[in-house]
Amino acid sequence: MEKAINRQRVLLEHLRPSSSSSFVYGSDSSSSSPPISASACAAGDSAAYHRTSVFGDDVVIVAAYRTPICKAKRGGFKDTYADDLLAPVLKAVIEKTNVNPSEVGDIVVGTVLAPGSQRATECRMAAFYAGFPETVPIRTVNRQCSSGLQAVADVAAAIRAGFYDIGIGAGLESMTSSPLAWEGSVNPKVKIFEQAQNCLLPMGITSENVAHRFGVTRQEQDQAAVESHQRAAAATASGKFKDEIIPVPTKIVDPITGDEKPITISIDDGIRPNARSSDLAKLKPVFKKDGSTTAGNSSQVSDGAGAVLLMKRSIAVQKGLPILGVFRTFAAVGVDPAIMGVGPAAAIPAAVKAAGLELDDIDLFEINEAFASQFVYCRNKLELDPEKINVNGGAIALGHPLGATGARCVATLLHEMKRRGKDCRFGVISMCIGSGMGAAAVFERGDAVDDLCNARVVQSNSLLSKDAQ
**Which residues on neighbouring strands pair with residue 302, listed in sequence order?**
71
For residue 290, how many other CB atoms are within 10 A of its CB? 7
Single-letter code of the amino acid located at 365: F
Q: Which residues pair with 252 in a beta bridge?
A: 261
Strands (E), 161-290: 166-174, 248-253, 260-265
Contact (Cβ atoms closer than 8 angstroms) between residue 427 and residue 364: yes
Contact 206, 287 (CB under 8 A): no
> Which contiguous run of DSSP H or E holds residue 353?
helix 343-354
Residues 62 and 322: beta-carbon distance below 8 Å = yes
List the catalytic residues.
Answer: 145, 400, 432
Give 255's DSSP letter.
T
Contact between 173 and 304 (Cβ < 8 Å): yes
Give phi and psi for 160, each to the nearest 5.
-65, -35
DSSP characters over 115-184: -HHHHHHHHHHHHHHTT--TTS-EEEE-BTBTHHHHHHHHHHHHHHHTS-SEEEEEEEEETTTS-----S
Residue 147 to residues 2, 9, 334, 402: CA-CA distances in angstroms?
A: 43, 42, 15, 8
- H or E stretch covering 359: none
Amino acid at site 303: D
- State the virtual CA torsion across 398, 404, 409, 412 in degrees, nearest 10: -70
Pairing type for strands 302-312 and 59-66 reads antiparallel
Do 154 and 140 contact (CB within 8 A), yes or no?
Answer: no
State CA 443 to chain mean position distance: 8
- If one counts every other C-beta atom within 10 angstroms of the C-beta of residue 244, the result is 20
What's the chain's Rg over C-alpha atoms? Answer: 25
Residue type, 340: M
Spatial CB neighbours of 252, under 8 Å, sequence gap ≥ 6: 76, 78, 79, 260, 261, 263
